């Protein structure tokens, strides 16, 4: 009998049944009253989720599209930005900034290390011309959680915008945009939001909107001023991904029923569970501190074929996990625990990791690894985050 397939990657993530049914609805016209009602509900839900009173604009693209939209609207060629380069997606900030013609100052860190507020402070003190700080909330390539709240304390008293990629953080770990002082927060649909890929979302602070008004957008598709104008009329600038927005309407309803505190509590508990199980197996965690709540990166012993381990886990145990990127390819396993997953999925993932590790010549640790995992999960649930 074939194993049940469990998708435990850092995105895409599994979809709730209610969302899948919404995605299967008949097509409607995106300029008619019925769909405007959907967009109105979605807008209210997104503002609640982002923790902002500003509009949250849906864009029909991947999260990288929203990253492009941010830089094309907020900055003019020749302006300088500070890039936190601590992984694959920190590098992407640099690539997009370069394509926009921005001058770049980079804080380059070993993969698996979070930036410190002191490093941000020093860089901004050394160069007052820096107009923006570009950083991931969660660096998906490694599982590092950067200290966004502390960075915002530094940027909000300067003429420096804080631009945050929250693609693997929104709906996974706290990042209340207005309360913390984040100037631009963006995310994608396929991770914490429990949707297929294809949508991105971006919100700007009032002072960020002032910068947008100062920089005429050079890309018609990502003109955020025109998107904001249409959003006020419960419309999008161009044809949206209609069924994905129907799914989002349902996803946000599920979030509202559960409440943000409970969502974050569960995500934290799954994180504690995964890390405890991995350590009980005698495996090394790539990120020892400042770790994200949505995925866990596991270091493999030197010489072990990480790609083969992933193939065995998927083929024999029905658990799909992700490997590393660039120089970490074959060296780490990234086990996702974000979105529509629960403790049973993570238990299956840890079991598949153990069995596949053994099949590749590794030696597992404690036989009580599942009990240790569950105990960590329950302990985390019993304590508010």
6-59 pLDDT tens trace: 999 999 999 999 999 999 999 999 999 999 999 999 999 999 999 999 999 999
If one counts the domains in the chain, the total is: 2
Instruction: Give a yes or no: residue 140 inside a domain.
Output: yes
CATH number at residue 331: 3.90.1150.10
Which tokens hold the place of 69?
Answer: 């939209």
100-139 pLDDT tens trace: 999 999 999 999 999 999 999 999 999 999 999 999 999 9
Instruction: Give a yes or no: residue 276 inside a domain.
Output: yes
Could you tell me where the DSSP H helices lie in the chain? 17-23, 33-50, 63-74, 88-99, 117-126, 148-155, 177-180, 206-214, 224-231, 242-258, 260-280, 306-317, 343-359, 369-382
> Is the same domain home to 153 and 289?
no
Element (H, E) at 326: none
> Is the same domain home to 138 and 276?
no
Q: Residue 360: phi, psi to the nearest 5?
A: -95, 10
268-317 pLDDT tens trace: 999 999 999 999 999 999 999 999 999 999 999 999 999 999 999 999 99
Predicted confidence band of residue 384 (pLDDT cuts 50, 70, 90) = low
Q: What percent of the chain has pLDDT over 70?
A: 99
54-74 pLDDT tens trace: 999 999 999 999 999 999 999
pLDDT at 2 over 70: no
Dist. CA 270–CA 91, nearest whole Å: 28
> Is the same domain home to 251 and 293?
no
- Does the annotation list 334 as a binding residue? yes
> Is the same domain home to 55 and 144?
yes
CA nearest neighbour of 273 among 349, 166, 178, 359: 349
Among residues 242, 257, 272, the one where a domain terminates is 257
Domain that holds residue 195: 17-257
Rounded-to-10 torsion of CA 43, 46, 50, 51? 60
> Region 184-191: what's the mean pLDDT?
98
139-161 pLDDT tens trace: 999 999 999 999 999 999 999 99
Say what the pTM is.
0.97
pLDDT at 385 over 70: no
Instruction: Give a yes or no: residue 12 inside a domain.
Output: no
> Is the same domain home to 229 and 301?
no
């Amino acid at each position: 009998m074939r194993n049940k397939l469990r998708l435990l990657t850092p995105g895409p993530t599994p979809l709730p049944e209610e969302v899948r049914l919404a995605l299967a609805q008949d097509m409607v016209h995106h300029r008619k009253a019925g769909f405007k009602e959907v967009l109105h509900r979605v807008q209210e839900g997104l503002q609640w989720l982002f923790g902002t009173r500003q509009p949250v604009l849906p864009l029909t693209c991947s999260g990288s599209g929203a990253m492009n939209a941010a830089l094309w609207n907020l900055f003019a060629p020749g302006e300088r930005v500070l890039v936190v380069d601590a992984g694959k997606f920190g590098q992407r900030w640099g690539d997009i900034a370069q394509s926009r013609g921005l001058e770049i100052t980079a804080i380059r860190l070993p993969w698996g290390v979070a930036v410190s507020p002191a490093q941000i402070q020093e860089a901004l003190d050394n160069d007052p011309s820096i107009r923006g700080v570009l950083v991931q909330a969660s660096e998906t390539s490694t599982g590092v959680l950067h200290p966004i709240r502390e960075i915002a304390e530094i940027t909000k008293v300067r003429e420096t915008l804080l631009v945050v990629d929250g693609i693997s953080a929104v709906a996974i770990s706290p990042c209340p945009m207005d309360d913390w002082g984040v100037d631009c927060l963006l995310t994608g649909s396929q991770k914490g939001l429990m949707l297929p890929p294809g949508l991105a979302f971006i919100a700007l602070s009032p002072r960020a909107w002032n910068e947008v008004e100062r920089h005429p957008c050079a890309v018609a598709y990502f003109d955020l001023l025109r998107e904001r104008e249409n959003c006020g009329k419960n419309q999008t600038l161009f044809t949206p991904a209609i069924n994905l927005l129907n799914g989002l309407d349902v996803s946000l309803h599920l979030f509202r029923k559960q409440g943000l505190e409970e969502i974050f509590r569960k995500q934290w508990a799954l994180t504690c569970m995964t890390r405890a199980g991995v350590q009980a197996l005698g495996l090394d965690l790539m990120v020892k501190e400042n770790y994200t709540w949505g995925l866990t990166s596991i270091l493999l012993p030197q010489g072990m074929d990480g790609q083969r381990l992933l193939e065995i886990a998927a083929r024999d145990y029905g658990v799909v996990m992700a490997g590393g990127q660039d120089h970490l390819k074959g060296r780490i396993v990234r086990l996702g625990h974000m979105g529509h997953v629960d403790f049973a999925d993570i238990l299956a993932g840890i079991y598949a990791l153990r069995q596949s590790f053994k099949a590749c010549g590794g030696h597992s640790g404690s036989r009580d690894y599942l009990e240790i995992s569950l105990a960590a999960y329950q302990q985390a649930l019993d304590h508010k985050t």
